[in-house]
Amino acid sequence: MLVGIVGKPNSGKTTFLNAACLTEYKVAEYPFTTIDAQQGTGYVRIDCICKELGVEDNPKNSICVDGVRYIPVNLLDVAGLVPDAWQGRGLGNQFLDDLRRADALIHVVDASGSTDLEGKPIEPGTGNPEEDVEFLEREIAMWFKQIIMREWAKLTREVEVAKGKFDELLIDRLSGLAIKRTDIKKALQNSKLNPDKPKSWSEDDLYNFAQELQKAAKPMLICANKIDRKTSAQNLEKLNKKGNVVPASALAEYMLRKLAKEGVIEYRAGDPEFKVLNPEKIPYKQKEVLDRIREEILNKYGYTGVQESLNQTVFGVLNMIAVYPVEDVNKYSDHHGNVLPDVYLVPKGTTARELAYAIHTDLGDTFINAINAKTGKTLSGNAELKDKDIIRIVAAKGER
């Protein structure tokens, strides 16, 4: 899974990546600090099933700390987007090309309104974060439209003369964007366009279809960053009308995680509180900053917003669930004795057979059935899995 971190320059995207992954990429108060796409590994946070079962687990593909399971997710911070990026302005071509593989997007917005559409510093409160959201959505839709329009005349002829299927023909042109046929069908349904008569589509129809395709294939969450600044509160109310919005301070999260790593405080990503370990040794200025983070962010919102953005993107926007494959249904372990070793993030509605394929192609090809370790019930290949299911796959060439 790949989550793209997007937004205009100087909105806090790289700080968000550093906070989520404890990386140390360069940040600065001027546009285009990021030129090349920057990668990192973040983690979504769930309550591990080990607490419910009363067992001590041995995670392999994730981390469990005191019953909290952290599951890795790939993140990509791309170059800042400016108006008309789809036409190549700024670093637009590079930006958009970097997004091809993303499953979902986190749009980091300067909620304080202290940067213009180009990412240049302005008087706090004079910028309009709503415009930031609208322009970025338009840029991605125009990018999609531009790609769809390539060989459009040929595609429409194949549909209307040769009676080809619109979704099958279009998926070939969009394969490099990690778009699925179901995304195209959903976009067609939501835009209310006739796939059998694409020649009759207007320019507005094509744009609306591109918009719906973006929503289906690259769904987006808005991270209202810099929420601790005085001018942010008034903008948050307006941003909340735009859809999935999480108030955040990426800088606060980064500071908390760094201080926790240094042993100054006790804090885990996503916690609603932190504990200063040696109050008498902490410098006064550092204490001031921590007090402000507690009062103006944690006490007010219950989080810094970085972990919440990741969790809402994966479990809300992408609608994923967590499933634990095991081999021993009594000990909940693999063949090495590791208890609850792996946890897989899969889309809601995933079947037992699809989980087998996600683990290994051979396991899917030779699938016989599955067993729900919590209930002892045997599941068919078409049985849909639920969040936090513990599943044993029975196959002709072994079990998992």
User: What angle in degrees, to the nearest 10, is found between the helix axes of 181-191 and 203-217?
Assistant: 130
Residues of the chain with pLDDT > 90, as a percent, come to: 76
pLDDT tens digits for 316-373?
Answer: 999 999 999 999 999 999 999 999 999 999 999 999 999 999 999 999 999 999 999 9
Contact 42, 310 (CB under 8 A): yes
For the chain, domains (ranges, CATH) are: 321-399 (3.10.20.30)
DSSP, collapsed to helix, strand or coil, labels residue 38 as strand
pLDDT of residue 96: 65
pLDDT tier at 79, thresholds 50, 70, 90: confident
pLDDT tens digits for 260-306?
Answer: 999 999 999 999 999 999 898 899 999 999 999 999 999 999 999 99
Structure tokens at 214: 């973006």
pLDDT tier at 34, thresholds 50, 70, 90: very low
Contact 15, 254 (CB under 8 A): yes
Q: What is the mean pLDDT of residues 103-119?
A: 93
Structure tokens at 1: 């899974």
User: C-alpha distances in angstroms, 53 versus 56, 68, 377?
Assistant: 9, 13, 17
Q: In sequence order, what are the beta bridge partners of 398?
A: 395
Give the span between the Cα atoms of 350 and 169, in whole angstroms: 26
Using the structure block, give the residue that is written with the tokens 């509180």: 273
State the pairing for strand pair 390-395/367-372: antiparallel
Contact 247, 111 (CB under 8 A): yes
pTM of the predicted structure, to 2 decimals:
0.91
For the chain, the average pLDDT equals 91
DSSP, collapsed to helix, strand or coil, labels residue 72 as strand
Structure tokens at 394: 């029975």
92: pLDDT strictly greater than 60:
no
- CA atoms in the 13 A half-sphere facing the CB of 29: 5
Amino acid at 79: A
Task: Write out the H or E segment, with its range, that includes residue 70.
Answer: strand 68-77
State the pairing for strand pair 378-379/390-395: unpaired
Give the span between the Cα atoms of 338 and 294, in whole angstroms: 39
pLDDT of residue 90: 46
Amino acid at 106: I
Contact 84, 92 (CB under 8 A): yes
pLDDT tens digits for 159-200?
Answer: 999 888 999 999 988 878 889 999 999 999 999 999 999 999
Contact 275, 267 (CB under 8 A): yes
